[in-house]
Amino acid sequence: MHIGILTCEILSTEIKAVIENTGIDTVFLVQPETINPVIGVLNKEVTERFFGDLADTGIKIKEKTLERIIKEIREHNITDSLIIKVTELRLHDYPDKLLAEIDEGLKKLSSVADIVVLGYGLCGNSAQEVERVIRGADVPVVIPRDGEGQILNNCIEIAIGKSKVQSLLREEIGTFFMSPAGASIIKEPQVILESAINITAGRMNRNAAADTPKIIKILTNHYKRVVKICYSEADEKDVAFAKTVVNFARKFGLEIKQVKGSSKVMLDALRKDSNGSK
């Protein structure tokens, strides 16, 4: 089986778990077909960040354009592979652009994959919009969902579960969540907060998203704590991760709470489809 994976770079831990659990050792990372040097540099940065969490899998990952991936699969009669396309976190700033990118990515991966795993939540889009894009794909598409079959809202719900997120927000509505991947992608406290603001404000008014000083002042007064998500003991001992969380908390006067993250939701999405569930 050829499994396509279209994912935001922030879900590198979850995708690593998918790679390890499928047992497939032929893994491709889709590279852009453009010769635009700016796009090339941006893609290289995203690839290097994503590879950071995959380095210890022991699996050789081939970086090629989709056209060359398809050619290699056909010429070498490869029957099982993982074909991964990674998009940068900043696409979340404008949900409509993100949805268009997902739609285009699904169309391209459908040309070679038997099934596509979508490493996203709603990310500012409506459930109807995302379901429409999924239904429009030429192959089955799986996406992380809750126990009632609803698409999860974001990467935080994918990491710790919707019920846990709701519980933490009931406990303290002014809670900011930070995962190891999120901290490594955006290290500066101000940039982390501005990105979160853009994700929220950008879906309603793009001019509002640009007025970050005013919104930062409002949200600085609103947030009371930051939740540090650790998937493993290694995350708990990660000095760089801890430093980023502490700097962020100090910058905005927040308390720090640690919670356990898991790749279970992402793995369940793939397993359910493998068992014939829609």
Render pLDDT for 5-14 as a digit per residue (tens, 0 to 9).
999 988 988 9
Mean pLDDT of the residues in the chain:
83
Residue 251 has pLDDT above 70, yes or no: yes
The pTM (predicted TM-score) of the whole model is 0.84
CATH class for domain 2-154+263-274? Answer: alpha beta
List every span in the chain annotated with CATH 3.40.35: 2-154+263-274
Task: Provide mean pLDDT across the span 124-141.
Answer: 94
pLDDT at 84: 94
pLDDT at residue 47 above 90?
A: no
Kindly report which listed range (24-28, 35-39, 224-228) carries the lowest average pLDDT score.
35-39
Per-residue pLDDT tens over the stretch 76-104:
999 999 999 998 777 777 888 899 999 99
Tell me whether residue 23 is exposed, middle or buried, using C-beta atoms within 10 angstroms of its C-beta: 0 to 12, 13 to 18, 19 or more.
Answer: exposed
Average pLDDT of 35-43? 64
- For residue 117, the SS3 value is strand
- What's the rounded mean pLDDT across residues 178-188? 78
C-beta of residue 29 within 8 angstroms of C-beta of residue 47 = yes
